[in-house]
Amino acid sequence: MLLGFCLLFSGYLRAQLGITVQVPPVGVIQKTQLWNLLLVNAGDVAYDVEVNITVSAAPDNNPVMTGAGKMVHAPKGTTQLRYADFEPVSYRYLSPAFNNDLRPDGFIPVGSYTVCYTVGRWKGDAWEPLTEDCIHLEVQPLSPPVLNTPADKDSIMVLYPQFTWLPPAPLSLFRALTYDLVVAPVLAGQSPEQAIQQNMPVYTEGNLSNVMSVYPASAHALDTSRWYAWAVIARNNRQVISQSEVWSFWVKGGQKTEAELESASLVVLKKEEEAIGITALPGEKIGIHYYSFDTAYKATLQFVGADGKVIQEVEQQVNYGDNAWWLPLNKTFRANTVYRLQLTTQTRQRYTAAFYIQQKTK
């Protein structure tokens, strides 16, 4: 009889207690926002309860994070609760994707999730759940990648352009951010969006870790007097998270001047283990692009010959982010000879690029 009474009382409590979660279903979500909720006690007796949260990845329903706050008081009526009411909150992370931001007020990584709330109380060492509720979350970046250069509807003279863009925001949402770049011709009567969706790309590059890509000299040069469309797709842990707008640019026709040819003389410094290919320089000036993850410092650019000897050194100021330098090459350099440019960072990591100067035709 006592057992029956206990079960009846437990069922009564379940019927008297409700929870309403107040979390936006779409957008950028902080962990602290998960604790915005209403507790509704329809009974006459106040009691103390504990709220536990389980966040599961929507595709496979595997738990990726759990959270438990301190006991809160549930008097008769409606109680508005915030993160501060549950502090200190204990989190347990079950997915590497959550290791990027371990702060209590950090962001939930981009993705689709099911968040389940269990409100209960302890009776000795036994946990008694009183009410439950689940919501669906779609965490999305505030902004997708933003294209930078070539500008939309711009006219360019170079046949091997450099593409640059800004990352999606906020960056702290992402643990392993990479990009796919797509460049496609625009046919008569097409919009740039249709060109990207329907036409065979003239250039694609995937798994880019930097926010730039140079159209390779090894690829077929872009046609003159033609429109091209380009777009960038952002991925986090190889999963597509957002796509930029589609922009277009016009490649001008006509003969290139010496100055215009030199503007195409761009090499990109990459980590030594990632540097592949050889860039052909049409002039005796070299354009250098380097993306720095360090604070400002001075570095020495070294030009090394095939025998390993340094034939030219130039000191340059390196700033965080994109760096671009245009340098003249001294008289030591010979046409059709491969040279290596190298830069060593403050952390002793080496970035390199290989190039040669094309033989001028008379």
The pLDDT of residue 111 = 84
How far is 236 from 249, CA to CA, in rounded Å? 28
Hunting for tokens 């460049």 — which residue is that? 183
Going by pLDDT thresholds of 50, 70 and 90, the confidence category of residue 344 is very high
The pLDDT of residue 116 = 95
**Comparison of pLDDT for 115 and 176, the residue scoring more:** 115
The pLDDT of residue 2 = 43
The pLDDT of residue 361 = 53
Query: The CATH number of the domain where 350 resides is what?
Result: 2.60.40.1930
Stretch 333-343: mean pLDDT = 88
130 and 20 in a common domain: yes
Q: Report whether pLDDT(85) > 80.
A: yes
Stretch 83-104: mean pLDDT = 88
The pLDDT of residue 8 = 43
263 and 181 in a common domain: no
273 and 177 in a common domain: no
Going by pLDDT thresholds of 50, 70 and 90, the confidence category of residue 7 is very low
The pLDDT of residue 26 = 81
Q: 26-57, pLDDT tens digit by residue? A: 888 889 999 999 999 988 888 889 999 999 99
Task: Quote the domain boundaries for residue 52.
Answer: 14-139
Whether 44 maps to a domain, the answer reads yes
The pLDDT of residue 70 = 92
Q: Report whether pLDDT(80) > 60.
A: yes
133 and 19 in a common domain: yes
Amino acid (one-letter) located at 184: A
What proportion of the chain, given as a percentage, has pLDDT over 70?
Answer: 91
Of 235, 254, 273, which residue is a domain's last?
Answer: 254
271 and 220 in a common domain: no
287 and 224 in a common domain: no
260 and 250 in a common domain: no
Q: Report whether pLDDT(142) > 80.
A: no
Going by pLDDT thresholds of 50, 70 and 90, the confidence category of residue 359 is low
Whether 4 maps to a domain, the answer reads no
Dihedral angle, C-alpha 318, 323, 326, 327, nearest 10 °: 30
Q: Quick one: which of 28, 173, 177, 32 has its CA closest to 100? A: 173
Whether 7 maps to a domain, the answer reads no
Residues 124 and 177: beta-carbon distance below 8 Å: no
Going by pLDDT thresholds of 50, 70 and 90, the confidence category of residue 265 is low
Q: Report whether pLDDT(90) > 90.
A: yes
Q: 294-327, pLDDT tens digit by residue? A: 888 999 999 999 888 999 999 999 988 778 888 8
Q: Report whether pLDDT(94) > 60.
A: yes
Q: What is the 3-state secondary structure (H, E, C) of the chain?
A: CHHHHHHHHHHHHHHHEEEEECCCCEECCEHHHHHCEEEEECCCCCEEEEEEEEEEECCCCCEEEEEECCCEEECCEEEEECHHHHCCCEEEECCHHHHHCCCCCCECCCEEEEEEEEEEEEECCEEEEEEEEEEEEEECCCECCEEEECCCCEEECCCCCEEEEECCECHHHCCCEEEEEEEEECCCCCCHHHHHHHCCCCEEEEEECCCEEECCCCCCCCCCCEEEEEEEEEEECCEEEEECCCEEEEECCCCCCHHHHHCCCEEECEECCCCCCEEEECCCEEEEEEEECCCCEEEEEEEECCCCCEEEEEEEEECCEEEEEEEECCCCCCECCCEEEEEECCCCCEEEEEEEECCCCC
228 and 210 in a common domain: yes
**Comparison of pLDDT for 146 and 98, the residue scoring more:** 146
The pLDDT of residue 189 = 79
Going by pLDDT thresholds of 50, 70 and 90, the confidence category of residue 260 is very low
The pLDDT of residue 15 = 52
Going by pLDDT thresholds of 50, 70 and 90, the confidence category of residue 248 is very high
Query: The CATH number of the domain where 214 resides is what?
Result: 2.60.40.10
Average pLDDT for the chain: 84
The number of domains in the chain is: 3
Whether 335 maps to a domain, the answer reads yes
Of 87, 109, 139, which residue is a domain's last?
Answer: 139
**Range in 81-95, 120-134, 158-172, 251-265 the model is least confident about:** 251-265
Whether 5 maps to a domain, the answer reads no
The pLDDT of residue 181 = 96
Residues 97 and 175: beta-carbon distance below 8 Å: yes
Of 91, 117, 139, which residue is a domain's last?
Answer: 139
Stretch 123-135: mean pLDDT = 87
